[in-house]
Amino acid sequence: MVVCVCNAIRERDVRAAARDGAMSACQAYRSLGCQAKCGQCVPFARAIIDAERAAA
C-alpha cells in the first residue's frame, strides 16, 4: 500500500525504517532520502511506526 503519494513511499518502506530505528515519520522519511511534503501521510506513517515499535 502507498503511504505517501508525494514521495511514492510504501508501507513496507516505513515499516523497514521503523525496524531500523526511526521513531517518527520525519526520521523514517529522512532514512529513505525524502521528506514529507503535503503532510497528509504523516498520521498514517506514525501509526505504522507505532505498530512496529509495539510489535518489537
The percent of residues above 70 in pLDDT, for the chain, comes to: 100
CA–CA distance, 8 with 20 (Å, rounded to integer): 19
- CB-based contacts of 33-37 (< 8 A; 24+ apart in sequence): 34/4, 34/7, 34/9, 35/7, 36/4, 36/6, 36/7, 37/4, 37/6, 37/7
pTM for this model (two decimals): 0.90
Q: Is pLDDT at 56 greater than 80 in this prediction?
A: no
Residue range 17-36: mean pLDDT, rounded: 95
Question: Which residue would you say has higher pLDDT here, 48 or 55?
Answer: 48
